[in-house]
C-alpha cells in the first residue's frame, strides 16, 4: 500500500460552504434511500438497491473530481455519488417508478443504472464490473489525445481522467483484472474506486480474496491506497491526490475504501441469513453520515438549526418528487425499441 496520498490533506482546503454542500448531498441520498425502502415495502415500486452506509466515500469522491467534466462510470450502488454530480430527487423517483421521463433510459433500464451525457456519467451495463474496462478505455483515449496534441494537460474545461467504481465482489470478475492491467501498462489517467462493504451479496470478503484488495495494485503497476471509506475527509484526500496524479500524467490509482452496507444487498435480499444483527449494529456506530455530522458540528460548520432546516427542505423535495413521479406517464410501448437500433433513412 502506498502512503503519500493520505498526507496530502486537500480536505483542509475545503470551504465551509463546500462542506455543507457535501453534508447536504449525503443527507439527501440517505433520506431518498429510506423513502425508497418504504415505497418498496408498500408495494409501490418493484426494486431498490441501496447506498446506505456508502454515502461518505461516494460524496467525497465526487467532490474530489472535476464534476461534470471528468468521465465517470459509477456502479449501481452509487446513488450518493450521482446526487453529488447533480442527480435530482425527481430524476431518481422517475427511475424507481420506471416512468417515461426517467433521464437514464426513459424507464427501460432497472433503477440505479445511471446515465447522463450532461453530467458525464457514461451509460452502464447490468453486467457486474464491465464499467471498469470501459472506463480504462476512456482513460486510454484521453491519454492518446494528450500525446498527439489534441488535449492540453492543464485544460480544466476538458475531461482529464476516467473514474470507475465497483464493489469488492466485482473485483472477482475477469474484466476488472484486465482493466487494471491495461491501466498499469499504459499509465492511464484512471481511478478505480473499490467500495469494499465486506459482502458480495452474501459472500464475505475473506471468501473472495486471500489478501487485501489494495495489495493487488502493485501487481498491475498502479498506485494502491486503502482508506477508511466512512471518513469523508480521508476519502476526499485519497481521491483528490489520485486525480492530481492522473491530471499530471503520473498514472492510475486503485483506491480500496473500507465501508459497510447497513442494509441488505437489495430489496430482494434477506441479510439475516449470512450476517449477525450484532455485526450490523456494530457498524451502525460508524455511520458515515452521523460521523460527518458530528465532525462538522464540532468545527462549527453546522448547527442543529441548519441541520433541521436541511431535513425539512429535503423531506419536502422528496415528497414532491415522489408525487410527480407517481403522476408521470408510463413509457409508450411503441417506443420500446427506440435507442436500440440505428434509425436509418433511405
DSSP-derived 3-state class of residue 334: helix
Q: How far apart are CA 245 and CA 28, in angstroms?
A: 31
Q: How far apart are CA 170 and CA 321, in angstroms?
A: 32
HSE, side-chain direction, 13 A CA sphere, residue 278: 0
Residues β-bridged to residue 253: 191, 223
- From the list 30, 240, 245, 265, the catalytic residue is 265
Which residues, 6 or more positions from 266, have their beta carbon under 8 angstroms from its beta carbon?
47, 48, 49, 50
Asked if 186 is an active-site residue, the reply is: no
CA nearest 185: which of 134, 127, 136? 136
DSSP-derived 3-state class of residue 200: strand
DSSP-derived 3-state class of residue 245: helix
Query: Where is 71: in which H helix or E strand?
Result: strand 71-73
CA nearest 236: which of 221, 217, 257? 257
Q: How far apart are CA 273 and CA 276, in angstroms?
A: 8
Alpha helices in the chain (DSSP H): 16-41, 55-64, 79-84, 89-97, 131-147, 174-185, 217-220, 232-247, 277-284, 288-299, 304-327
Q: How far apart are CA 61 and CA 179, in angstroms?
A: 20
- From the list 108, 177, 274, 291, the catalytic residue is 274
Cell numbers for 278: 450484532
DSSP-derived 3-state class of residue 172: helix
Asked if 216 is an active-site residue, the reply is: no
Length of the chain, in residues: 346
Among all residues, which ones are annotated catalytic? 261, 265, 274
Amino acid at each position: 500500500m502506498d502512503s503519500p496520498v493520505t498526507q496530502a490533506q486537500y480536505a483542509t482546503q475545503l470551504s465551509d460552504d463546500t462542506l455543507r454542500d457535501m453534508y447536504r448531498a449525503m443527507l439527501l441520498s440517505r433520506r431518498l434511500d429510506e423513502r425508497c425502502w418504504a415505497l418498496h415495502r408498500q408495494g409501490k415500486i418493484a426494486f431498490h438497491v441501496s447506498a446506505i452506509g456508502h454515502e461518505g466515500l461516494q460524496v467525497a469522491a465526487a467532490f474530489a473530481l472535476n464534476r461534470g467534466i471528468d468521465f465517470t462510470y459509477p456502479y449501481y450502488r452509487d446513488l450518493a455519488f450521482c446526487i453529488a454530480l447533480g442527480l435530482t430527487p425527481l430524476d431518481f423517483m422517475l427511475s424507481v417508478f420506471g416512468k417515461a421521463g426517467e433521464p437514464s433510459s426513459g424507464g427501460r433500464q432497472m433503477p440505479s443504472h445511471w446515465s447522463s451525457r450532461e453530467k458525464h456519467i457514461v451509460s452502464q451495463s447490468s453486467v457486474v464490473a464491465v464499467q471498469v474496462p470501459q472506463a480504462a478505455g476512456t482513460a486510454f483515449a484521453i491519454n492518446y489525445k494528450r500525446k498527439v496534441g489534441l488535449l492540453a494537460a492543464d485544460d480544466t474545461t476538458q475531461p482529464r481522467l476516467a473514474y470507475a467504481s465497483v464493489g469488492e465482489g466485482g473485483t472477482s470478475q475477469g474484466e476488472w483484472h484486465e482493466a487494471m492491467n491495461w491501466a498499469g501498462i499504459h499509465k492511464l489517467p484512471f481511478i478505480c474506486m473499490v467500495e469494499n462493504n465486506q459482502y458480495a451479496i452474501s459472500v464475505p470478503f475473506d471468501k473472495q480474496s486471500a489478501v487485501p484488495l489494495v495489495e493487488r495494485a502493485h501487481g498491475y503497476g498502479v498506485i494502491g491506497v486503502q482508506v477508511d471509506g466512512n471518513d469523508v475527509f480521508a476519502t476526499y484526500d485519497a481521491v483528490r491526490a489520485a486525480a492530481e496524479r492522473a491530471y499530471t500524467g503520473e498514472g492510475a490509482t486503485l483506491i480500496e475504501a473500507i465501508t459497510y452496507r447497513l442494509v441488505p444487498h437489495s430489496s430482494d435480499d434477506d441479510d439475516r441469513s449470512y450476517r449477525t444483527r450484532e455485526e450490523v449494529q456494530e457498524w451502525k456506530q460508524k455511520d458515515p453520515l452521523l460521523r460527518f455530522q458530528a465532525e462538522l458540528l464540532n468545527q462549527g460548520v453546522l448547527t442543529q438549526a441548519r441541520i433541521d432546516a436541511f431535513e425539512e427542505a429535503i423531506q419536502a423535495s422528496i415528497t414532491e418528487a415522489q408525487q410527480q413521479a407517481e403522476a408521470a406517464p408510463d413509457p409508450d410501448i411503441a417506443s420500446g425499441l427506440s435507442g436500440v437500433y440505428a434509425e436509418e433513412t433511405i
